[in-house]
Homo-oligomer: A and B are copies of this chain.
Amino acid sequence: MQPTLKTYLPILSWGRSYNRTALSNDLMAALIVTIMLIPQSLAYALLAGLPAEAGLYASIVPIMLYAVFGTSRALAVGPVAVVSLMTAAALSNIVEQGSMGYGIAALSLAGLSGVILLAMGLFRLGFIANFLSHPVIAGFITASGLLIAAGQIKHILGIPAQGHTLLEILASLIQHLPQINISTAVIGVLATAFLFWVRKGMKPALTRLGVKGGLIGIAVKAAPVAVIIATTSAVWGLGLADQGVRIVGAVPQALPPLTLPSFSPALLQQLLLPAFLISIIGFVESISVAQTLAAKKRQRIDPDQELIGLGAANIGASLTGGFPVTGGFSRSVVNFDAGAETPAAGAFTAIGLAIAALALTPLIYFLPNATLAATIIVAVLSLVDFSILRKSWRYSKADFAAVLVTIVLTLTMGVEAGVSAGVGLSILLHLYRSSRPHIAEVGQIPGTEHFRNILRHKVLTDPAVVSLRVDESLYFANARFLEDKIHNRVAGDPRIRHVILQCTAINEIDFSALESLERINERLAEMDVKLHLSEVKGPVMDRLENQHFLHQLTGQIFLSQFEAAQTLKSQPIGEVRNQQPD
């Protein structure tokens, strides 16, 4: 399909049929999401090591741009936990947190990530994200969730602590424990406990009290806002800020500022790998949410266009005081459940947040950081799910190894090392498996034209003819394996006169494998054995056509394995082999 303007600007498709019903649905969804996003945005900005207002800014223009360029009707774009953590990890290696340079580096990281996403979209390179296997992502998100939660404990207790690995964070927490601020700890622990109860216990409790389902839903969503109001009032009323409770403080009462990221080549070079990883992880998280939601309404998602949408959103974030953003799971689900019909819902959310940035920021002056930390802890612990270890162990040891390495390295060596090692290991394990393909020696099932594995079935074979079925495409990693297998099978049995390769499962033969086949053919010829092929697939045959190998081949190419066996049989098929019952 040739891309048209409509491909690159999905707004042209849904914009034309926009009507009043859609408008009112979108407005309602936007209101609910705005209320939910205010505390979340502030909290994730702190997680990323930035001032709280950056979280609001990162949610305004990026949402607007995604609404124009994105293909999902329900995806809500903004700061998310894992990407915020990765931002903090990337920046803290380079600049001091809290310094002027830190905020600018965050803009550059968002900009670089936006350019990478945009380039991947325009050059249709979205497939790169496929190399993050599901177990690696699951392991990474679980480990990140733990790291984030551990990193927030210092805000809950009001102590200074540092570190990027689990051990560093825990050691630093224990070391600074004597400096605990009791007022902060009371607020933090109460807020965390209450928010946990909201998630787990509030619904049954309200149901028992006879509250109706719809009201319960609203109560659950409003609870975090209630906690903010309660704790902010407490800090203000009791003057706790003077007792050392850290608060959000003065937030500029303004629309997102126009900002310019740094273009320093040295900085960009240091940010390149983190930006790439943030782009990939963000894209994977986002596309998976988008597809799940789209499926519910039989809508299409174009992954390459999604890259463009997320790229535009991140570039927008870098120009308006934000930091890296992506499509978030919880906010998108809330958006969808609240009835959002089109990306316009996102635009209305952005307007809601802009009003909040202009009008509401004075109200959060006394909001304690501990409350935001409680919000984060409760949100990320829902990401932690060790069941992937058990599930992958039951299904495949290779997948289990990839998960385990990802989790352990993410916790002990940081997010970048963890995700890179997980990807590297899963690629190596995949290559290892396909480098030793299943090669079955096959024989004819009596009375049929079918050929099956001689080890699994009662089949007829001919001592002078060996038929081998390779259950894998032939490429460099398994070409030599095939040479060895065939050589050793034939060298050990002087009765053999013909080798037939049944090519049913061979979807591709690369140049290395072609040369290996030539070599196999030559070596078999030295042993006075002919090489034949059967059931070669069309596209594979097209490639082999006109190659030296076909002229050189000592044997024939047969349409079917049955035809090959019939033609080559030296004597009435007799010897019945029966290694194992069916």
Specify which chain B residues have a CB less than 8 angstroms from the CB of A164 in the assembled complex: none
| A495 CB-CB contact with B under 8 Å | no
The CA-CA distance from A291 to B519 in the complex, in Å, is: 10
The segment from A32-40, A317-325, A327-335, A504-512 that touches chain B is: A504-512
> Which B-chain residue is minimally distant from A133 (CB atoms)?
B476
Specify which chain B residues have a CB less than 8 angstroms from the CB of A432 in the assembled complex: 127
The CA-CA distance from A177 to B285 in the complex, in Å, is: 62
Specify which chain B residues have a CB less than 8 angstroms from the CB of A547 in the assembled complex: 394-395
| A476, B131: Cβ atoms closer than 8 Å | yes
| B514, A395: Cβ atoms closer than 8 Å | yes
Specify which chain B residues have a CB less than 8 angstroms from the CB of A543 in the assembled complex: 395-396
| A573 CB-CB contact with B under 8 Å | no
Question: Given A300-B491, A477-B130, A507-B471 in contact, is the A483-B291 Cβ separation under 8 Å?
Answer: yes
| B538, A491: Cβ atoms closer than 8 Å | no
Question: Given A131-B431, A481-B127, A539-B438 in contact, is the A295-B511 Cβ separation under 8 Å?
Answer: no
Contact of A484 among B132, B135, B303 (CB under 8 A): B303
The oligomer's copy count stands at: 2
| A478 CB-CB contact with B under 8 Å | yes
| B476, A295: Cβ atoms closer than 8 Å | no
| B430, A477: Cβ atoms closer than 8 Å | yes
**B-contact 0/1 string along A385-408, CB 8 Å cutoff:** 000000110111011000000000
Specify which chain B residues have a CB less than 8 angstroms from the CB of A514 in the assembled complex: 395
| B511, A299: Cβ atoms closer than 8 Å | no
**B-contact 0/1 string along A430-466, CB 8 Å cutoff:** 1111111110000000000000000010000000000
Specify which chain B residues have a CB less than 8 angstroms from the CB of A487 in the assembled complex: 291, 294-295, 300-301
A455: min CB distance to chain B, Å: 11
> Which B-chain residue is minimally distant from A138 (CB atoms)?
B515
A interface secondary structure, majority = helix
The CA-CA distance from A301 to B303 in the complex, in Å, is: 49
Within 8 A of B (CB), among A295-343: 295-296, 298-301, 303
Specify which chain B residues have a CB less than 8 angstroms from the CB of A438 in the assembled complex: 507, 539
Contact of A291 among B299, B434, B481, B523 (CB under 8 A): B523
Specify which chain B residues have a CB less than 8 angstroms from the CB of A434 in the assembled complex: 473
| A299, B505: Cβ atoms closer than 8 Å | no
Specify which chain B residues have a CB less than 8 angstroms from the CB of A510 in the assembled complex: 133, 396, 398-399, 430
Specify which chain B residues have a CB less than 8 angstroms from the CB of A292 in the assembled complex: 519, 523
| B527, A295: Cβ atoms closer than 8 Å | yes
| A492, B300: Cβ atoms closer than 8 Å | yes
| B298, A494: Cβ atoms closer than 8 Å | yes
| A365 CB-CB contact with B under 8 Å | no
Sample 30 A-B pairs with CB under 8 A, ordered by A number.
Answer: A127-B435, A130-B476, A130-B479, A130-B481, A131-B431, A131-B477, A133-B475, A133-B479, A133-B510, A135-B511, A287-B480, A291-B483, A291-B519, A295-B523, A296-B526, A298-B490, A298-B491, A298-B527, A300-B492, A301-B484, A301-B487, A395-B511, A395-B543, A396-B511, A399-B511, A430-B475, A433-B508, A471-B537, A472-B473, A504-B505
Query: Which 3 pairs across A and B sit closest by C-beta, in order of nearness?
Result: A133-B476, A295-B523, A399-B511
Chain A contact residues, CB within 8 Å of chain B: 127, 129-136, 287, 291-292, 294-296, 298-301, 303, 391-392, 394-396, 398-399, 426-427, 430-438, 456, 471-473, 475-481, 483-484, 487-488, 490-492, 494, 504-505, 507-508, 510-512, 514-516, 519, 522-524, 526-527, 537-539, 543, 547
